[in-house]
Amino acid sequence: MVTIKKIADLCGVSRGTVDRVINDRGNVKPETRELVLNMAKQLGYKPNPAGKALSARKKHPVVGVLLSSEGNPFFEDVIRGIKLAAEKYEIYGLKVIWRNMRGYDVSSQYEIMEDLKDKVNALIINPVNDPVIIKEIDEFVDTGIFVVTVNNDVDNSKRQCYVGSDYINGGETAGALLQMIIPSGANIGIIMGSSKVLGHKQRLAGFEKNISKNPKFKIVDIQENDDDDISSYDKTKIMLEKHKEINAVFIVAAGVYGACRAVLSLDKQNDLTIIAFDTVPTTIEMMKKHVIKAVIYQHPYRQGQRAMQIVFEYLVNGISPDKSKHIMKNEIKILENL
């Protein structure tokens, strides 16, 4: 077993110096630090878990988690991934402050962020893409708070890392999938979450780009449901009653169950091809009823787990993310491969 004493002897420094380098505390000359770290790496040094935990507890790592999860079942798996990862790290003294909100109201998210600012060392956030929130994220980073955006990102912020899907690719995949299912063409109604969300806009853009290559496919109407099932029901029903020619529906984000209930209420489930995202229980129910033809899965559990892992590595081990975006692959799901 490689010990701190062995590293110290080989480097010609004291055990205290090696301890300060390994645990990132105290002042050590840059050249000495580099020498110790290189020797530790060459020898395959692994810190003692108990000692590492004690050192981490002295840093009092606190992570804020802010998600637009109220009324959106998609986030249940994101939260499960974050929670299970956080439980593993409790030995290191890591604590989590949970905050959730409904929809994408800028002022609500800003107020929660302000409340968290002096309580956390890191923030995992599903952000609204608005200048007010972007500025607030930048202020968090400027004050030394480590920020990871999860499931959705924002334009040009200082956040350290994004964990989620490639939304443009998700939209392109949905467009290609729709053309495979009904190659004869379609008049499409779109139900999207919110134009305040960067990912939703990107997914719509990817879809539009893909189908624009085929003159047989036309977007008839676009409605926003704010990721809310009740709003989704109302908006979908009105859209289908107004535009009788619609024979395909693309549901960009959440509100899938509400949209499908509207389709069923109009007895149009056999007249429409519906493509949506993710495999929450109510969406699976609608697939089994043959209301939804296919969905695109974006690995919500892994998104949550990876976000918390990145935060832990930074707060406890001082390891910065090796890339600014950690992308989960979009995966097509049909009833037969759920």
Within a domain: 338: no
Judgement on whether residues 176 and 292 belong to the same structural domain of the protein: yes
With respect to residue 122, please indicate whether it lies within any of the assigned structural domains: yes
Q: What is the pLDDT of residue 106?
A: 97
CA-CA-CA-CA torsion sign (195, 199, 200, 205): positive
On whether both 111 and 174 belong to a single domain, the answer is no
pLDDT for position 51:
54
Q: Which domain holds residue 69?
A: 61-159+300-328
Q: Kindly state the helix (H) or strand (E) to which residue 116 belongs, with its residue range.
A: helix 106-116
pLDDT at 45: 85
Q: What Cα–Cα distance (Å) separates residue 110 from each residue in 78, 104, 134, 151, 328? A: 21, 11, 10, 18, 27
The confidence score (pLDDT) of residue 55 equals 55
Q: Give the neighbor-by-neighbor strand order of the sheet with 294-297.
A: 217-224, 186-192, 248-251, 273-277, 294-297, 331-333
pLDDT of residue 25: 63
* Percent of all residues in the chain with a pLDDT value above 90, rounded to a whole number: 79
Average pLDDT in the chain: 93
| pLDDT for 3 | 85
Q: What is the pLDDT of residue 58?
A: 54
Q: Give the Cα separation of 152 and 254 in Å (integer).
A: 13
Decide if pLDDT at 57 tops 70.
Answer: no
Residue with tokens 């008049």, as numbered in its chain: 187
- What are the tens digits of pLDDT across the range 167-199? 999 999 999 999 999 999 999 999 999 999 999
Percent of the chain at pLDDT above 70? 95
Mean pLDDT over residues 7-36, rounded? 84
Other Cβ atoms within 10 Å of 134 Cβ, number: 18
Specify the number of domains making up the chain: 3
Could you tell me if residue 314 is inside a domain? Answer: yes
Has residue 50 got a pLDDT over 80? Answer: no
Single out the residue of 291, 288, 296 nearest to residue 272, CA to CA.
Answer: 291
- Output the domain CATH number for residue 10: 1.10.260.40
Residue 254: which of 104, 73, 106 has the closest Cα? 73
Least confident of 66-70, 124-128, 264-268, 321-325: 321-325
Residues 178 and 286 in one domain: yes
Residue 334 falls inside a structural domain: no
Q: Identify whether residues 17 and 137 lie together within a single domain.
A: no
Does one domain contain both 252 and 171? yes
Residues 102, 18 share a domain: no
Strands 325-328 and 331-333, bridge-based pairing: unpaired
Asked whether residue 56 is domain-assigned, the answer is no
Specify the CATH number for the domain of residue 261.
Answer: 3.40.50.2300
Closest CA to 75 of 52, 46, 98: 98
How far apart (Å, rounded) are the C-alpha atoms in residues 262 and 241? 10
Q: Does residue 54 form part of some domain? A: no
Token couple for 322: 């090796």
Task: Indicate if 245 and 129 belong to the same structural domain.
Answer: no
The pLDDT assigned to 52 comes to: 56
Q: Rounded to an integer, what distance in angstroms lies between the CA atom of residue 68 and that of residue 281? A: 19
Distance of CA 324 to the CA centre of its chain: 13
Shared-domain flag, residues 145 and 224: no
Whether residue 333 lies inside any domain: the answer is no
Same domain, 237 and 324: no
Least confident of 20-24, 159-163, 224-228, 299-303: 20-24
Asked if residue 308 is part of any domain, the answer here is yes
Q: Looking at the structure, do residues 135 and 91 belong to the same domain, yes or no?
A: yes
For residues 197 and 292, membership in a common domain is answered with yes
Note whether 297 and 283 are within 8 A (CB).
no
Asked whether residue 207 falls in the same domain as residue 109, the answer is: no
